[in-house]
Chains A and B, each alone.
Chain A
């Protein structure tokens, strides 16, 4: 089961703060961050890539996106 973070409707940089806390404080292999705007999608993706994770973005309903973060070997 992926660890899910709901970052919809939050101002910058809260989606990134929540994603970072999830990566640092949980053990799950996969973390899914739900966002509802392009800026948050880009920010969370950029953070996860710089943390050595694999990132996959899937559009969802209502202009939302799921940013799926899979831990890389070093993350």
Chain B
């Protein structure tokens, strides 16, 4: 199968499974949301105490393990790391804060659009602007440095964390929190969610599906390859939503969403910018972590921490709107991520000298 067919198929599978998971019990327009689900896991582990968003979502360990198994089978598992791990932690942290002010990762943004939630259009515009800003840094030589090959044990850490999370889900010890009301209580049966997560992880690994990469490559080199997957998720989820519902076109009273356009926009600017500097959206980070990328594993831990902070400090938005701390966090996040972008450009390029351009080509 050629790459084009693989990415189209991956998009179709992700779109279809997202609607299936929603029909099977996950929240509306949230068949899959990587940021929300990581936040739910943070809650289940007691890292935050927002009672309505606590559950060990099996989809997330599924993404990591699906990628891990397929990468192993395909000879693509390779333990690597050492490319600015702490900076990646910070980027992952702020990407999740931005996503939780918008109320969705880039994948859920597409699913919200496919459910008729027009607030996600504002989010999409912000996401594209964030990516465009990120490309300014990349074109000027931005790099978090090279990763190098590591001992294979480094690559097993996140798959092992995924297995541990699944064991905690199944054994449900008293110290794990499971929501009894709210979005965290709305869940597809665990086995279905796990299998769907593994399939998504597998097809995303094979296709390199990345929501940020889709728009980035369109802007950067006019390459629609990954964007085809993005569109396919939308089309398949839209058609299925129209057939089996719910589909509700409009801005108001959309499920697990608010209509504050400015902060939907700015939240996703932060997500787009952070994702481009990281080299991929939150889903892609889970996939890379499964392939043995320890830097993506650190990013995952940053996202998990961000999910906890989002609720410990009332940063996450809710259907009633965006909080003052949420606005402040997005503002700080955009500044911090832009400073990271600036500081990781070659200094000579940042000042615009000829030598700098040469360095950018060779570095």
| Residues in chain A within 8 A of chain B (CB atoms) | 5-6, 8-14, 16-18, 20-22, 25-26, 36-39, 42-43, 46-47, 50, 62-63
Q: Are A21 and B144 in contact (CB under 8 A)?
A: no
Q: Quick check: B223 and A42 within 8 Å, CB to CB?
A: no
A39 CB, min distance to chain B CBs, angstroms: 5
- A42 to B76 alpha-carbon distance, docked (Å): 13
Q: Interface residue count for B (Cβ, 8 Å)?
A: 33
B258 interface residue, CB < 8 Å from A? no
Which chain B residues numbered 211 to 267 have a C-beta less than 8 Å away from chain A? Answer: 213, 216-217, 220-223, 225
Q: How far is the CA of A50 from the CA of B225 in the complex (A)?
A: 11
Contacts of A46 in B (CB 8 A): 3, 223, 225
Determine which of A12, A14, A25, A38 lies in contact with B357 in the assembled complex, contact meaning CB atoms within 8 Å: A25
Binding site for A on B (CB under 8 A): 3, 76, 78, 80, 83, 138-139, 143-149, 208, 210, 213, 216-217, 220-223, 225, 278-280, 295, 357, 360-363
Cross-chain pair count, CB within 8 angstroms: 70
Contact assessment for A11 and B279 in the assembled complex, using a CB-CB cutoff below 8 Å:
yes
Main DSSP-derived SS at the B contact region? mixed
Q: Is the CB of A17 within 8 A of B144?
A: no
Please state if A12 and B280 are interface contacts (CB–CB under 8 Å). yes
Q: A13-B279, A21-B360, A46-B225 are in contact. Are A8 and B146 (CB under 8 A)?
A: yes
Determine the residue in chain A with the shortest Cβ distance to B279: A11
Taking the closest CB of chain A, its distance from the CB of B200, in whole angstroms, is 17
Are B83 and A13 in touch, CB under 8 angstroms?
no
Report the Cα distance A17→B295, complex, angstroms. 21
Can you list 13 residue pairs at the A/B interface with Cβ under 8 Å? A10-B143, A11-B143, A11-B279, A12-B280, A13-B213, A13-B220, A13-B279, A17-B138, A18-B360, A18-B361, A20-B220, A20-B221, A50-B222
Task: Give the distance in Å from the alpha carbon of A12 to the alpha carbon of B144 in the complex.
Answer: 11
In the bound complex, do residue A12 and residue B279 qualify as a contact, i.e. CB atoms below 8 Å apart?
A: yes
